[in-house]
Amino acid sequence: MINRNPQLDKNRVLQHLLTTEGLPASILLQILDTAESFVGVTERDVKKVPLLRGKSIFNLFFEPSTRTRTTFEIAAKRLSADVFNLNIAVSAQSKGETLLDTVDNLSAMNADMFVVRHVQSGAAHLIAKHAKPGIHVINAGDGRHAHPTQALLDMFTIRRYKKEFHNLKIAIVGDILHSRVARSQIHALTTLGVPEVRVIAPKTLLPSKVERLGVHVFHDMNAGLRDIDVLMMLRLQKERMQGANLPSSEEYFKNYGLTPEKLRLAKPDAIVMHPGPMNRGVEIDSMVADGNQSVILPQVTYGIAVRMAVMSILAGHQV
């Protein structure tokens, strides 16, 4: 009873970006290649192209966010679209309106694209299923499920620094269990042909069966970081410390925090990535975060180009 991939139309053209899972490498590369052309745009004096002029893009953030929402807004504005930010967590939903009622209302305002963030896994899929034909949905993070544009900007960053995917060893470190970013990264990396993806975390922060995603599981960071080309650190949410996931941030940092000493186990030219916002002294040492192997700030810059690429491709524009 499993249906066709809801992201692709009958001709396998991208209609929505909901997850990196199930997308062919050709589409992922198309997004990365398109983003390359937008990097130039973002570096110009006039950082604007008219590709989405007259289009209405609604940022539907059912979960609070500043950073991601802002980067989507910048991306849309640089494509000359009209952007509407709705902080729905404190508006219609709090008055009892259902998720799909909200979507229906905004559809009636002739929206062209929804950028959706929601605390529940699958919310973007639900919206994509019920939105009027022609409205494209971009998942900006749903529960623990997916954060595809973050993963794509990570891929973009990796390609910028490492050129190829097929000869890399990549480690993802931290709270894989609750991370939508990690899931999307893993799908994207394996699709793009990375031969070895490792996940490094204590057992309380790993979902069962994670190895079915084609990753190698490590609980010992010293072992997991050996010969690594790319390190992708994940944010550790403070609330995880209060439950039974972890005993303390100190113990976590000792075992899984990325310090200069641990980083030396990786290849000398390894790059360090982080989706932000960082918890310094919890998952990453400031010496590393601000060090010369860190590409954390370029990730943010590339994030705008990648989101511009996704929006323009969904709107039917090839660059």
- Residue with smaller CB distance to another protein, 30 or 121: 121
Residue 214 contacts another protein per CB under 8 A? no
Range in contact with another protein (rule: CB under 8 A) among 124-132, 161-169, 217-225, 260-268: 124-132
Q: Is 180 in the site for another protein (CB under 8 A)?
A: yes
Segment lying near another protein (by CB under 8 A), choices 38-46, 95-103, 131-139, 269-277: 95-103
Write down the least CB distance from residue 235 to another protein, Å. 16
Binder to another protein among 60, 146, 155, 201 (CB under 8 A)?
A: 146
Contact residue for another protein among 100, 217, 300, 315 (CB under 8 A): 100
Residue 21 binds another protein (CB under 8 A):
yes
The answer to whether residue 265 forms part of the interface with another protein (CB under 8 A) is no
Residues in contact with another protein, total (CB under 8 A)? 30
Regarding 99 and contact with another protein (CB under 8 A), the answer is: yes
Pairwise CA distance, residues 181 & 310, whole Å:
17
Cβ nearer to another protein, comparing 1 with 109: 1
Span from 2-10, 76-84, 248-256, 282-290 in contact with another protein (CB under 8 A): 2-10
Q: What is the 3 state secondary structure string of the chain?
A: CCCCCCCECCCCCECCECCCCCCCHHHHHHHHHHHHHHHHHHCCCCCCCCCCCCCEEEEEECCCCCHHHHHHHHHHHHCCCEEEEECHHHCHHHHCCCHHHHHHHHHHCCCCEEEEEECCCCHHHHHHHHCCCCCEEEEEEECCCECHHHHHHHHHHHHHHHCCCCCCEEEEECCCCCCHHHHHHHHHHHHCCCCEEEEECCHHHCCCCHHHHCCEEECCHHHHCCCCCEEEECCCCCHHHHCCCCCCHHHHHHHHCECHHHHCCCCCCCEEECCCCCCECCCECHHHHCCCCECHHHHHHHHHHHHHHHHHHHCCCCC
**Residue 15 burial class via C-beta count within 10 angstroms: exposed 0-12, middle 13-18, buried 19 and up:** buried
Cα gap 303→157, rounded to integer Å: 9
Residue from 16, 117, 136, 144 touching another protein (CB under 8 A): that is 144
Residue 207 is a binding residue for another protein (CB under 8 A): yes
Cβ proximity to another protein: between 128 and 309 the closer is 128
| In contact, 198 and 170? CB cutoff 8 Å | yes
Q: Examine residue 89 and tell whether it contacts another protein (CB under 8 A).
A: no
Q: Which of 118, 198, 240, 274 binds another protein (CB under 8 A)?
A: 118
Closer residue to another protein in complex, CB, 1/46: 1
By CB under 8 A, which span of 71-79, 196-204, 205-213, 292-300 interacts with another protein? 205-213
Nearest approach, Cβ of residue 244 and another protein (Å): 10
Which residues contribute to the site for another protein (CB under 8 A)?
1-3, 6, 21, 98-100, 118, 120-123, 125-126, 129-130, 142-146, 180, 183, 207-210, 212-213
